[in-house]
Structure 1
Amino acid sequence: MLGVFFSALKKRQSMEDMVYSIQKGDFDLRNDLIEQYKPFIKRSVSSVCKRYITDTDDEFSIGLIAFNDAIDRFSYEKGTALLSFADTMIKRRVIDHLRVQSRKKQELSIDFSVATEDGYAQSLLEADRSIEFHKEEIDAERRRDEIKSFTGRLQSFGITFDQLVQASPKHADARKNAISIARIVAEDSSMLNYLFQKKKLPLKILESKVNVSRKTIERNRIYIVAMVLVLSGDYRFLSDYIKGVLKD
């Protein structure tokens, strides 16, 4: 059992080292990694297209580009595995491509010709619905990844998701005020570094920058810290939550 664990750990470290070297400019290693994971790229593309993918397919080329971009943009600090991150990027790019083709009423390179009971081929409208369904699946997967990553970040501050739910201000104005405080912290590099290093809010500095009492800040500490993490991180869906709060 321990052998399996250490083997998996070694593989993760090896992948991390490779990505780090590639991001530093190792062009040959980049090509080797892409070549090694071509079958993975084809499977990701095929899961959207619902057909066998070859090297000559346009969708495969899009998948290759997406995988290459994923290598450049990937960071283990975000709490997501490289292949999971790459899989999401590949599917999103392919879906975007298919949606453009569908909107232009051009012939889709994906085979949506699924015969119905009446013998008619599936319409472009149905094809677009299928694409939309896959997009929703990917969005749901990314949302789960975001929550998992965010939960991990919260835990590093000694906060659980349940505690965040319980500590969230009940009134809209209180939530807006807390988010405003969080934004001040997120946009100030010195306060942000203090928070990340000390795992606590820089209360003394904050008091001089906001028109609320120290007691109010401390009462909303958990919520403020959580909002700082969202504002300073790569959380597309959680950021939408903040936008919704501010609109209320």
Structure 2
Amino acid sequence: MDVRNLLNFNKNKVMDKTSNDEFISTLKQIKEGDRLLREDFLSRYTPFMLKAASKVAGRYVDIKNSDEYSIALSAFNEAIDCYDMTKNYNFLLFSEHVIRKRLIDHMRKNKRNKELPFSYFENDDEILENYTIFGSNIGFEDVEVREDIIEYKEALADFDITFMDLIANAPKHEDSRKLCIRIAKVLADDEELFRLLQKYKNIPRSELKKKAKVHSRTIGNHRKYIIALCLILRSNLELSKSYLSLTEKGGS
């Protein structure tokens, strides 16, 4: 297994077709006017709406006495009504986008009544096109994974590393990948080395080569890859940690 597989795990994920068909069938019935089913659906996805609203508001959003929740609920209903059943994009990601837009509109309207909302300038078609990379896999857990990947991308950016860098710099040979993982573990487990990494945004090469017992050139040749692995080890990305474990054991 290489970095390209790690970054595209959503494409490779085996879907539960029955579960997906049931979800689409439920949406279809709701859009056709089943009010009781809509109420049940809204109740079931209340935690999702609250989390989406909290992320935009930057604070905890509760159901009671909360304008943000009311707007999120309205936006979720809007997403149901506007969702195109013929397109292959993720409904929950689409609804999260609608919630975000409506809340941003609300917050900006309260601050500057004459200012056009940020969402006015967004291209919905381009955004929905991007959602198709997730296929029609509509589980709530996939939104969680998406948020984790976004956080990881931001962490990499602090070190001037992109996902394309990882694809380009990933070692081709299994032995090299295993060696990089071992070096990254030394870097992640040593608090002083990790502190230096964070402070200078670079690997403390002379110190690390002694502790990992490797040549300095090895670290230099795989610098970005080792940093990326180290950040995974220090994160809560369980799927990515599983990738490291499989790679160490020789998995593909």
Under a length normalisation based on structure 2, what TM-score does the superposition of the two structures give? 0.47
Larger relative contact order (Cα-Cα within 8 Å, sequence gap ≥ 6): 2
Under a length normalisation based on structure 1, what TM-score does the superposition of the two structures give? 0.48
